[in-house]
Every structure is written in structure tokens, then in C-alpha cells.
Amino acid sequence: EKGGYEHFMAKEIHEQPKVIKDTMTSRIIKNEKIRLDDITITKEQIKNIDKIYIVACGTAYHAGLIGKNAIEKLARIPVEVEVASEFRYRDPIINEKTLMIVVSQSGETADTLAALREAKRQNARVIAVTNVVGSSISREADDVLYTWAGPEIAVASTKAYVTQLIAMYIIALFFAENKGTLSNEEIEAIKEEMLLLPEKAEKLLQNEEDIKAFAEENHMHKDMFFLGRGLDYAVAMEGSLKLKEISYIHSEAYAAGELKHGPIALIEDGTVVIALATQESLFEKMVSNIKEVKTRGANVLAFAMEGHTEIEKTVDTAKYIPRTIELLAPVLSVIPLQLLSYYTSIAKGCDVDKPRNLAKSVTVE
Ligand code: F6R
């Protein structure tokens, strides 16, 4: 049942090239419009949306952060992302021009379901991005975009997250097409890069040994920091959550530019810092932030896009992800972070698939 792997998490990490592909199949086809056959929202309704809320919990929330960036950039609609347990209790401004996108692997998360119900009560339209056909969230939403990750057994979400990212890009492109905010060439260029993601993810999975070695060397640390800017910050948050969940190492994700406003006080000799520098337009800024922690003695493992070997001058260990456009980099950069938490958990002798205190589906509010 684990397909030859020692843990479900390893199996699910390795299924990512396939599930990325499955989630795009029949929806993203070269030189054709985005096909979302089951989505009933009309062009007119899309044009009328004046605000989108993406509401979710945990890893799904982190996918929502990438969704905000993609939708705002490609379709020019303002998006707020919020954790469901907060959204519900703050009397958010919702009306018939509001669209809510809920993201939930299980489709059963109580807070997310309650947020969906609140949005519907106030006449907003709801699109659900979920992995479970027939789940409560899929039944109650106006439209459903299924992620085709297949059953996810490990408590720590991996393959569901990357398919949620793909769903976010698809929605952003679909809205951009309907609103006319991008040219056909621009849309085709993004689609073309998306279609290359499965093979690039596969390539990353062939380089596990380095990450495993890093995990084995560093698993005894009590804290780790994850830094990034822009989309890398959202991926840093996901990497940090994964590490906490399954290795019980305290970790924090920080927007790299925010570090000097407080948390840099925590950096001392030997502090492990995982720095994400895949966003080309923010690369130089990120390198300056890495220098700030290096000066304080941090041990830095950095991830950049292939070709940026100059980063080796600044960091202790540099790793590369295959080149893609900035917007899509999270699909690739999250993979080594998943592997890092996986191997750290194993090095510490933790229960990888069933971490303490956690359940796969959180059906209490
Ligand atoms: C993290 C994790 C949780 C879930 C969260 C939402 O690895 O598994 O943070 O992402 O509980 O669950 P769903 O997506 O089922 O609503």
C-alpha cells in the first residue's frame, strides 16, 4: 500500500509529478481556452467580482497565499487570504460581488465549512478547491474544482498542496481569460511553463541525497528559520509548518525584509536558516538579507533557480531548482522543503506519518 516506500509521506512526495499532471489534464491544453467544464460561474459574474476571499486552514491556507498572488497578478482582482478560524469571527464585508474560494484537501474542515456557509448566507458565490469528491465542502459550494491528488494518507500534506497550487494557477488564468487582463501570448506562455512542471518536479526528486545529508547533520537543532520574499515567503511558511508538524523542531517563517524589525535578535552562531531565493526579481534583495544573517553566524542553506551560482559566495550550502517562471517556482521549491522535514523527522526517530497531537481531518471548530 505504500508502493515500496517506508512511509506514506515518502510515497506521496514522490507522486507529485503525477498529481501535478493529473490536475492539469483536460484543463490546460495548448492553444485552447482553459477548460473548467463543471464550473458554472459566467463571464458576466467573473467581471462583476470586486473582491475575492480565499479562506482555508494550515497548508491549504499557504496554497491560498500563492493563489492571492496569482489572481491579483494575472486577473487584477483584489484578493484577501485568511485562515478560516479567524475569518468567521471578524464580521467580514461580504456581498453579492464577493467571491469566496475555499481550499480544503479533506473537504471536511469545520472552520472552512463554517466560513463557506457564512459567505453563502450573505449571498457570495463560493468556489471550492478540494480533493475529496462528495465531501461536505464540495456539496455546499456553488462550484467545485477538484484537485486530483488521490487519497492523501500521511497527516502532513504534501501532494495535496502542490495540486492546490495548480488549482490556484488555473483559476487565475481562467479569470484572466474571462476578464481579458492578459494577451493570448501571455496566457500561452504560462500554460507552457505549467506543462513542464511534472518533469521538473521529477528531476528534483532525483536529488534527495543532499537534502537527506543536510537533515542528518542538523536534526538536533532546537530551532530553524525559513526566510523568503514574495512567493518564497509563502513557501517558507509551508516549509516551516511541515518541519514543526513532523519533526517537532521549533521553526519560524519570516518575510526576509522583516527580519531586521525584531527576529534577527534570535540569530546566533550556528542558527540554521533556510533561505529561499527563487524569485528572480527579488534575488538581490534576498541576498542582502542572507548577508545580514550570515554576519550573525547563521548556517545558511539556500535555494535558488538554476544558474544563480553567485549565491554560493554568500551561503554555506546552495541548492538549485530547475528554471521556471517566478510565479510557478513554489511548485518546485516546496519539494526539497518537504524532503527536509521528512528526513529530519526520520533522523529524530519521530512517527513521520502520524505526528503527535494531529489528525488528518479537523472536524471540530
Ligand atoms: C498540514 C496539514 C494541515 C491541513 C489543515 C487543513 O500538513 O495537513 O495544516 O492542511 O488542517 O486541512 P484541509 O485541507 O483538509 O481543510
58, 20, 81: which is closest to 324 by C-alpha? Answer: 20
Q: Phi-psi bin for 349: left (phi > 0), alpha (psi -120 to 50), beta?
A: left
Distance 137 CA to ligand 1 centre (A): 14
Q: What's the CA-to-centroid distance between 360 and ligand 1, angstroms?
A: 7
Q: How far is the CA of 73 from the centre of ligand 1 (A)?
A: 26
Which stretches of the chain score pLDDT less than 50?
Answer: none
Produce one character per residue of 199-235: b if its CB has 16 or more CB atoms within 10 Å, e if not.
ebbbebbeebeebbebbeebbebeebbbbbbbbbbbb
> pTM for the whole thing?
0.98
Residues 165-198 pLDDT 10s: 999 999 999 999 999 999 999 999 999 999 999 9
Query: Does the C-beta of 112 come closer than 6 Å to ligand 1?
Result: yes
What is the C-alpha separation between 324 and 301, in angstroms, rounded?
21
Task: Report the C-alpha gap between 141 and 119 in whole angstroms.
Answer: 10
For ligand 1, whether the C-beta of 338 sits within 6 Å is: no
Determine if ligand 1 sits within 6 Å of the CB of residue 60. Answer: yes
Q: Is the CB of 152 under 6 A from ligand 1?
A: no
Q: Which helix (H) or strand (E) holds 1?
A: none
- For a pocket test of ligand 1, which of 9, 103, 109 has the largest count of ligand atoms closer than 8 A to its C-beta? 109
For the chain, the distance separating the N- and C-terminal CA atoms, rounded to the nearest angstrom, is 32
Q: Give the DSSP letter string of 214-238.
A: HHHHHTT-SEEEEEESTHHHHHHHH
Cβ(156) – ligand 1 distance below 6 Å: yes
What's the 60 CA to ligand 1 centre distance in angstroms?
6
d(CA 121, CA 127): 15
Q: For 233-244, what is each residue's pLDDT tens digit?
A: 999 999 999 999
User: What pLDDT does residue 145 have?
Assistant: 98
In terms of phi and psi (left: phi > 0; alpha: psi -120 to 50; beta: otherwise), the region of 37 is alpha
Contact indicator for 277, 303 with CB cutoff of 8 Å: yes
